Structure 1
Amino acid sequence: MVAHALPHSTSTGPETVARRLVRLIAESQAAHDAGHHQQGLALAEQALNGASAVGEPLMLARIHTLMANHRWRLGQFEPSVQSARAALALWKAAERIDEQCDTLCLLAISFSEIGLQEEALKHATASFELARQHDRGLAMGVALNRIGICYDRLGDSIQAESFLLQSLGMAREHGGHGDRMLALNNLTATAISAYYQAQLRADDDASQQAIQRARQYGSRALSLARRHGDIYRVSVTQGNLGEALGLAGEFAEARSLLQEALASALQNGFRAVVLRMRHNIAEVLLREGRNEEAITELTATLQSLTEMDHETTRMRVHSALHRAYKATRQFEPALLHCEAHHQIEMQRVALQSKAQARLMVNRIDVERALMDGERSRLEAELHRLRTQQLEAEKELLEQRTAELHRETLEDPLTGLANRRHVDATLPLLIERSRGQGQPMALAMADLDHFKQVNDRHGHAVGDEVLRTVARLFGDKTRARDLLGRWGGEEFVLVFVDTPRETAHEICERLRSAVQAYPWSAIAPGLQVTLSLGLAVAQPGDNAIELVERADAALYEAKRLGRNRLMEG
């Protein structure tokens, strides 16, 4: 990332502010290149605070990109997604292809860390397609790398290694040491995954082959990382190679590498790396039979976790503690940690859904800002055309402005209210119901196993199912009720001036209507059912609390077997 030089000026106005922003951006980039991400993030945040005075979109895009990169390296994955989305919108507006490819890849890896692998794969594939269309060989290699990571985390290490080897080949052809290191480091992690999968199959030959590949990839990656001089990359590659050596039985060398990586991560604030190194050190101790030392290390790690740390880390620590206590025949704490692991596993879907909801709100904010800007531009142009009496062009712009207004409120597939419309309207309905003393209820509805519908019958059938369900909802509810598509296969229904019993009856009627519909007329063998969670507004409820209670009831309906209504 290169800052543009500005012409000399002695003024103290916007140009002086611009010079300061250029300096902050350059210093933040230098901190990124050196692996000093806490310092780099602070510099980028300073730049963002002053960027409005200059109003230069490319400069703002660079600031958001830097913030996204720093936050990802610091383990702040959701904030990284938010910054990257803001950057991507600006790069698209400027038609900057390379920057779009890079930002899509950053979104892919951040979504992957959160656990949203399908969203990650979508962004990585979009980056690859954009790079391919514009013949960007290096960007294609980076996108293939991200696609490989997604497949690894989806449990397909064979496909993952294939994509990563393609990425390594393109890095050798188009890139430098950093790009080769990135591919080799991810190949190390994928080979480790292949080792564990072979262990589950009791395939000793495949296990040994996988761990040997991991050692080879890891040694080459660490050598390149040290040559590159990036502190973060050195720590991460040391961690992967240390894990591989521990699995190969080379315990002393493994612990030495992991301790070195831990010390560097602690010094530089790489929290995600710190937690992973502590867990890996404990795993090496377990393999050595030093169970009590492993328990001490794991217990300290567990106590240091906060609500901001990803649940995958907590699961890994509980799993290791279960095995450590079991090995020392301390069965009661072993059982407690086993139960804790399984409880978190059960909660992961809900946690990922909440993360997706938070990120959806951020995406809506970005899209709304862009659409509001486009609407303002069109309205200004419309005023000019009115003045000039260009009636034909004016009519076209009026039509486009009306379309934009409708697009901000309506889901294009189903014709129901979109998420933005519901978010804006729901608080007003709650306030009006409270002021008039009227009962009100809200239901969250989700189509059961909808992914299987798309997988088996295709997305065209899936879209027709969504449209049909929307029509059924419209037929079975009243005009005054608010019906919206919340996202994907999830809907929200707001029943105004409606007591609990009536809302319950309406929801059951909807569930039965979906179950009884002749879906085979759309596609042979197609079956669709609906789960609902219903919440009645309580005094003092706000929109978020009401939706959360309905969402929790929906989750309970899913947990109890689907195709049912639960109240929360």
Structure 2
Amino acid sequence: MSWILRPALLVAGLLAMASVRAEAGKVENTTVQESTSSLIQLAALAGQALEPARLLITRLAGVDAGLLLATAQAHAMQALHAADPARAAWHDVAQLAQLAGNAKAQMRAIEQQAEMNLLLSDYAAASRQADALLALARREHANNYEASAHGYYGVVARRRGDLDAALEHYTLAIGMLRHSGDEFRLALMIGNLGTVFRDRGDFARALELQLESLAIRERIGDHLETTLRNIALLYREIEDEDNARRYFERALAAVDRHANPERYASVIGSYASLLNDVGDHAAALGAAREALAIDSGLGNRANQGLERLEIGRALHGLDEDTEAAEQLESALEIGRRLGQHEIVARALLSLAEINQIQHNSLRARGMIDEAIAGLETALLRPQLARAYALREKIALADRDPATALRFLRLYSEQRELLIGTRASRQLGVLQARHARAEADKDLALLQKDNELQAVRIDKQDVERQLGMVGLVGLLLALFLISWRFQGMRQLNAALRLKNDEIDAKSQALALANLHLEQRASELYRAAISDPLTGVHNRAHLRELIEDRIAHCWPSAVPLAVLLIDFDHFKQVNDQLGHLHGDRVLLAGVASIRECLRSGDILGRFGGEEFVVMLEGARAVAAVEVAECVRAQVQLSLAGIDTGGIAVTVSVGIALLADLAKAEQASVDALLDASDRAMYLAKAAGRNRIARFSTAAAARGDMENA
């Protein structure tokens, strides 16, 4: 039997060496990447040595014996963190399991192949294994493996930017696993679904799912660092640095860097992104380089791309732009090779910033345009706003004011959306915390109710005992009744104390709910208001106009829109600065308000353009209101230092009834009509008003009011 024992002993030796090597890495203070690289080399040599023995055993002792040895070999490769040899070993296991008719072993082997291919960023191979696993699991009616197949489809879809497909696959997988008892797979799928909701911007739902995944992982005591890292990334997205750091530190404490280098690298690499975001570039550089060294040894190309991106960002923050550009170019190449659009777009954005600093506007413009295309597809709003701002600077440097103005407007719109999005994110997290507090309160009340029930049961037992004691003798019964009465008084006193405690906690919860409602109201006001002037922002203004059109159109109630544009405002910004321009706008808005009444709507349409909406009798008097606005602004701004620039307003008026019949119920048509009238006022010399009319529009001119 020695020819069977030798390979088995070799496999056992491999596992023992992996353990010893990991311990040596701790005791001898060797680096994790050196330990990982040595183990992978050892795994490759051992695989070559085991191959002839395994083939011989399969031929002489049968397929089952070969399957047993191949499975042990595959586990040994994984214990040594050798992804490529492990992938080949699991391929052999799957083939032997198929020959042996062992469907469960075959599904397990296919699942492990998919895991290794995801680690190596071979998404095409991972998809093929998911296809094979799904077909086999359906044939064997194995719901847990079918759920795993959908999980792998979800991972590939998310990394390639198809969030809708990822959401569908993870939802199917969770439905299959809810009542399966397979808590490890369930926690994994719930956490992955939470990551998809984070990518889509639904942070309240994402946090709810990650907390559910964390509760399961805490119960089974496995892969805690994965969920803790996901929660940290959620807090990073809503710009809560303190909580993000706290969860990253918990994740790092939960993973053994020597025993699980791939999981440690994932956490420390993600931590580097937070450190770059908060400006701690030196710490970010160290964290990203440590993660890159590990993932280079493991062969994880996707993580290498993300880590080179963070190294480049850190070096750029430390003013080492030459080395930063090299790292960012490497990240860009990896992202393009893997088809991961987020890596490509973010690398291009950072490279464009470096080229702009180095006055290479042509290259910077090409990179930023390519980055904008990718970011608009992925809807990564913070980076998109940053890209628009950089593109505006490039256009100004190229003396292209029209392009600069276009990207300035895009930047302003994106900033408005970001204000609303961040407010919604924070509100969503507050709502999730509120829901969790409500659940904790319900649980506490339930526990109190159980305690009261237990007290009632104890009371009934005592009463039965007293009845039995009464049969023994009156004196003993009276003694026991007196003793129990005293105990009941103490118990009632204890119950009163518990009730007082419950009342106090209820009052505290009511106060916390009031604070949450006040905060939610503040966030809503911020989401619908222009941050400079305090009037309605563009998105909310459009909603209000659309609502009033829906109300006025069926009943023929008059409705008018005034588009107000500050004349020569760009000259004020260029000559006196944007801060002075802001003061001019604030004074102008205050003058406009003096001409409005309760019920009139005022909002900022963009830049120096404002919109007033009038309804009913006020709409009939739109020309008088517009003239009041024009005169009042002229009078008010005449008393402000504008450096000799005549800052006035041109006002375009459009009534709902003035539009062509087909356009009467359209917000865009009404705004477009007022915009055309405003431009006529400007063309006629500025500081005047003009009213839109359908007949005039057909002739190509407007009615000068």
**TM tier, shorter chain?**
0.5 to 0.7
Tell me what 1:95 maps to. Answer: 141
Q: Does 1:129 align with 2:166?
A: no
The one-letter amino acid paired with 1:256 is G
> Which range moved further: 255-264 or 138-147?
138-147
Q: 1:298 aligns with which of 324, 328, 331?
A: 328
| Deviation for aligned residue 1:157 | 2.9
The 2-side partners of 1:135 and 1:63 are apart by 21
1:176 aligns with 2:243: no
Partner residue of 1:115? 161
Q: Deviations over 1:426-449 (max 9, x none)?
A: xxxxxxxxxxxxxxxxxxxxxxxx
The alpha-carbon deviation at position 37 of structure 1 amounts to 1.3
Structure 2 CA distance for aligned equivalents of residues 181 and 300 of structure 1: 28
Q: Which amino acid aligns with 2:134?
A: L
Residues 464-508 of structure 1 show CA distances to partners (whole Å, capped at 9, x for unaligned) of xxxxxxxxxxxxxxxxxxxxxxxxxxxxxxxxxxxxxxxxxxxxx
In the TM superposition, 1:198-277 aligns within 5 A as 207=239, 209=240, 211-226=241-256, 229-277=259-307
Q: Give the deviation of 1:97 after TM superposition.
A: 3.9
Offset at 1:281?
A: 0.8
* Equivalent in the alignment of 2:229: 185
Q: Name 1:316's counterpart in structure 2.
A: 346
Match of 2:192 in 1: 146
- 1:336 is matched with 366
Identity of aligned residues (%): 19
Contact 1:77–1:114 (8 Å) recurs in 2: no
TM-aligned CA deviation for residue 213 of structure 1? 2.1
Matched ranges for 1:333-482 at <5 A: 333-344=363-374
Shift of 1:264: 1.2
Give me the whole-angstrom Cα distance separating, in 2, the residues matched to 1:256 and 1:98: 40
**Relative to structure 1, is the Cα distance of residues 12 and 239 closer, same or farther in structure 2, using a 3 angstrom cutoff?**
closer
How far has the Cα of 1:21 moved from its partner? 2.7
CA distance in 2, matches of 1:103, 1:12: 30
2:256 aligned counterpart, secondary structure: helix
Which residue identity does 1:339 align to in structure 2?
Answer: D
Cα deviation, 1:366-400, whole Å, max 9, x if unaligned, reads xxxxxxxxxxxxxxxxxxxxxxxxxxxxxxxxxxx
Q: 97-106 vs 331-340, which deviates more? A: 97-106
**Which residue number in structure 1 is paired with residue 313 of structure 2?**
283
Distance 1:12 1:99, change over 3 A: closer
Equivalent AA in structure 1 for residue 86 of structure 2? G
Q: CA separation in 1, counterparts of 2:57 and 2:75?
A: 27
**SS of 1:229 mapped into structure 2:** coil
SS in structure 1 of the partner of residue 337 of structure 2:
coil
Deviation, structure 1 residue 284: 1.7
Which 10-residue stretch deviates more, 297-306 or 103-112? 297-306
Question: Between Structure 1 and Structure 2, how many residues are aligned?
Answer: 324
Amino acid at match of 2:109: I
What TM-score does the superposition give when structure 1 sets the normalisation length? 0.52
The CA distance in 2 between the partners of 1:239 and 1:170, in whole Å, is 25
Closer, same or farther in 2 for the Cα pair 1:334/1:22, shift >3 Å?
same
Which is worse superposed, 49-58 or 62-71?
A: 49-58
Describe the shift of the 1:162–1:12 C-alpha distance in structure 2 as closer, same or farther (beyond 3 A).
Answer: closer
Contact 1:285/1:294 (<8 A) preserved? yes
Once residues 119 and 315 of structure 2 are traced to their aligned partners in structure 1, the CA distance between those partners, rounded to angstroms, is 27
User: Residues 74-129 of structure 1: CA distance to partner in whole angstroms, max 9, x if unpaired?
Assistant: 11123212202311332333333443444433332222112221221122112222
Inter-CA distance 170–47: structure 2 relative to 1 (3 Å threshold): closer
Aligned to 1:157: 203
Q: How far 1:274 moved relative to its partner? A: 1.1
- Structure 1 pair 253/336, CA: closer, same or farther in 2 (3 Å)? same
Q: In structure 1, which of residues 41, 51, 57 is the aligned counterpart of residue 103 of structure 2?
A: 57
Cα distance in 1, alignment partners of residues 57 and 363 from structure 2:
69
The amino acid across from 1:104 in the alignment is H
Quote the Cα distance in structure 2 between the aligned partners of 1:83 and 1:148. 24
Query: Structure 1 residues 82 and 268, CA, compared in 2 at 3 Å: closer, same or farther?
Result: same
Residues 11 and 33 (structure 1), Cα distance of their counterparts in 2 relative to 1, 3 Å cut? closer
Q: Report the CA distance shift for 1:328/1:102 in structure 2 as closer, same or farther (over 3 A).
A: same
Relative distance call for 1:150 and 1:171 in structure 2 (3 A) is same
Output the amino acid matched with 2:193. Answer: I
> Conserved in 1, the CA contact under 8 Å of 2:121 and 2:338?
no
Contact 2:154 2:165 in 1 (8 A): yes
Following superposition, the deviation at residue 230 of structure 1 comes to 1.5
**Matched residue of 1:133: which SS?**
coil
How big is the alpha-carbon RMSD for the aligned residues of Structure 1 and Structure 2? 2.8
Residue 494 of structure 1 aligns with which residue?
A: none
Is residue 166 of structure 1 aligned with residue 166 of structure 2? Answer: no
Alpha-carbon distance in structure 2 between the residues aligned to 1:326 and 1:148: 37
Task: Tell me which amino acid in the other structure corresponds to 2:66.
Answer: R
In the TM superposition, what whole-angstrom CA distance separates every residue of 1:160-193 from its partner, at most 9, and x where no partner exists?
Answer: 12211221122112x2242x11111222333333
Q: Which residue of 2 is the match for residue 104 of structure 1? A: 150
Amino acid at match of 1:216: R
Alignment correspondent of 1:38? 84
Larger displacement relative to structure 2 (269-278 or 315-324): 315-324
Measure how far apart 1:260 and its partner are: 0.9
The residue type equivalent to 1:248 in the other structure is V
CA 1:286–1:119 in 2, change beyond 3 Å: closer, same or farther?
Answer: same
Instruction: Give the superposition deviation at 1:150.
Output: 1.0
The residue type equivalent to 2:106 in the other structure is L
CA shift for structure 1 position 330:
2.7
Q: CA deviation at 1:336?
A: 1.5
Distance 1:315 1:22, change over 3 A: farther
Q: Distance in 1 between matches of 2:73 and 2:244?
A: 36
Q: Following the alignment from structure 2 to structure 1, what is the Cα–Cα distance between the partners of residues 108 and 372?
A: 42
Distance in 2 separating the partners of 1:77 and 1:277: 19
Structure 2 CA distance, aligned partners of 1:106 and 1:136?
Answer: 17
Q: 2:356 aligns with which of 326, 333, 356?
A: 326
Query: Is the contact between residue 181 and residue 224 of structure 1 (CA under 8 Å) also seen in structure 2?
Result: yes
- TM-score, scaled relative to structure 2: 0.43
Give the C-alpha shift of residue 61 in structure 1. Answer: 1.2
Q: Is the 8 A contact 2:111 2:148 kept in 1?
A: no
**Do the aligned partners of 2:302 and 2:335 also contact (CA within 8 Å) in 1?**
no
Indicate if the aligned counterparts of 2:304 and 2:331 stay in contact, CA closer than 8 A.
Answer: no
Q: Is the 8 A contact 2:269 2:287 kept in 1?
A: yes
- Aligned residue identity for 2:218: R
Question: Is 2:129 the counterpart of 1:83?
Answer: yes
Match for residue 369 of structure 1? none
Provide structure 1 residue ranges, at least 5 long, that are not aligned to the other structure: 1-9, 195-206, 350-568
Amino acid across the alignment from 1:19: A
